[in-house]
Amino acid sequence: RLSERIEGLGDGLVSPLQAACLNALRRSLAIALAMGETFSAQSGLAELKKANLEGRVPEPKQGEFGELLQGEALVVLFTFGNALAYLIAPHVGSSTVELGEVEEVLTDNAPLALQGALWELDQDIGALATDDVKLVAVVSAFAEALMKKVQIRAENGARTSVFTAGSWKVEADGLTIAGFKPAKAAKGSMIAMAFKKPHEVVGNHIAKYQSLRLSKMLMAYDFERRLNPFAELGGFIFTFMGDGKPGTGKTTLIQMMAGLLNDYCKVAGYPFRYQNFSIDQIDSYQGKSGQNAKAFIDAVLDPSVIGFGTIDDIDQVAGKRGDRQSSAGQQEVTAVFMGAFAGAGTVVRGNCTFGMFSNYPENVDDALRQRAGARFLVDGPQSKEDYIDILSLLLGKNHSIPVGEHELFAAQEIKKAAAASFEGHSKPHEEGLLKVWDRVSGEIGKLDTLAKMGAYLKAIQQADDRFTGRAIKNITDAVKVRAMDFELPDEWMDQPDLFLFKPYDEKLAMIRGLMTPISVEMVIQEINRYADSEFRYADKSDEVAIQGMVRDFGRTEEAKRRYLEGKG
């Protein structure tokens, strides 16, 4: 019946996607039944089944027999859903379907359980699969929903310890079965995006330089060890925040980084997944926003892909705790992101990075903002050369206007521009921080020892109590990144055998060989760069709050005046 339903979607000939679904279903059934036999043999159910056929199951064993039959049904159902989700994953496109809960979860015995599941899948395909793409989406969604329902049932004391304690690998498919834990197939996502080349990102020198380096860092990830040498050495940027005025190039920076990663992954043959979390994923239904945020995080964290996750306009997406204007959905998102970026269970493997972008970072919850390990000030074009370059770039080529005395894009040469930008942070930029710097320098002289730098950090903390231990960790992480102030050669990306495909320990040794010692200048520049950003946010945040109060007081005064006039 089910095969007829699937074959009936076309014009008589079975399409490649229909064939893929049928093969996945048959293979999943075979794996599930084999897993059922294994469970039966290891749990003692096989002997009880034999005794039952002969009508000699002892009275004390009747209860155990029923429980084990139920356990086998759950094991077979979950394995069927797990294998089906895994095998169909490479064929899943961007189309999605909304399925409710799976209802036909029968646990009398394994064959009946599978019949019930196949019957319900048949009904779903009949109702929702209007074409081949929808067919794949329905099969994938059903497999996920089935696993979720069986997991809940299994938590209610089912006799499945043999299954949960073991692990099995189906070599032919590369599928690992480890209890009631879903296996994830390596699946990249097709990206529809206008990529940008580095020279097309005008200005933003430090942000551009760090994005380029971070893209290459991600490519050092070792899929066998499931770890990145940069994460082990302490110079990996897991989260970063890009802030700047509207129109300064935050979206262009995202397009550049996604484009670089996409190209590098194509050459290496790695699956690449880009995900963006935006305001349209905030849902009025209670708990749904948090679920959407968790799904976004899990998709990017998947250790079987190179992941890049962006949260554009994070000030609108994630709410400030305690802010009456933040919706429940925004508060849920904040809680999920805080737990994912620096929670008790956070594991940084180095296969992915998260970028938070905002025009108004002062509106982001302080604790969430401080979970951004690196700060990219996206300030757009600054110099005369930058403005000439951006004018030329945006005009395009449909003109014959001479360039004049200017070498196009020479100012956008990343390494030279970044070095000058870093040098600019030898002294603070923000007025509040500059006062602290001048006072501390006047009292203890040049900051050239750890003790003096520690005194400077304490003085910053006294000026802004939001400058905590996490801020110091973010600064030292940024310093470690600077200690790796080298760019992995382009040849290593173009010819994967030179670096990417080498064993983990060899990659680690190659990176160690390129590292430079940490200097006083590096530490001072990174303290100032990070503290500048915090003072910039704090000043803006305070100013916004003051302006709001002034408006409220003005309204109160005006209301009072009109009220008294009305009475008089």
**The pLDDT value given to residue 204:** 52
**The pLDDT value given to residue 33:** 94
Query: Contact 102/142 with Cβ under 8 angstroms?
Result: yes
Distance CA 280, CA 380 (A): 27
Look at residues 214, 213, 218, 240 and name the one whose alpha carbon lies nearest to residue 228: 218
φ and ψ at 101, to 5 degrees? -70, 150
Is this prediction's pTM over 0.75?
A: no
Tell me the two tokens of residue 546: 């003051």
| CATH code matching the domain that covers 198-546, chosen among 3.90.1150.10, 3.40.50.720, 3.40.50.300, 3.30.930.10 | 3.40.50.300
DSSP 263-303: HHHHHHT--EEEEEE-GGG--SSTTHHHHHHHHHHHHHH-T
* Residue 48, amino acid: L
**The pLDDT value given to residue 564:** 87
* Residue 524, amino acid: I
**The pLDDT value given to residue 451:** 93
Domain boundaries, the chain: 2-177, 198-546
- Environment class of 118 (CB within 10 Å of its CB; exposed 0-12, middle 13-18, buried 19+): middle
Pairing of β 175-177 and β 168-170: antiparallel
Distance CA 61, CA 460 (A): 71
Alpha carbon distance, N-terminus to C-terminus of the chain? 84
| Predicted confidence pLDDT, tens digits, the chain (568 residues) | 677 777 777 666 778 888 888 999 999 999 999 999 999 998 888 888 888 887 777 777 788 888 889 999 999 999 999 999 988 887 876 677 888 788 878 888 899 999 999 999 998 888 888 888 888 889 999 999 999 899 888 887 668 888 888 888 888 887 888 888 887 655 545 455 555 665 555 555 566 777 888 888 899 999 888 899 988 887 788 998 887 777 666 778 888 888 889 888 888 888 888 888 888 888 776 677 888 888 889 888 888 889 999 998 888 888 887 777 778 888 889 999 999 988 777 888 999 999 998 888 778 888 888 888 777 766 667 678 777 877 877 777 777 888 787 776 665 554 554 455 556 667 887 888 889 999 999 999 888 899 999 999 999 999 888 788 888 888 888 888 777 767 688 888 888 888 888 999 999 999 888 888 888 988 998 888 888 887 876 655 566 667 778 888 888 888 888 888 887 6
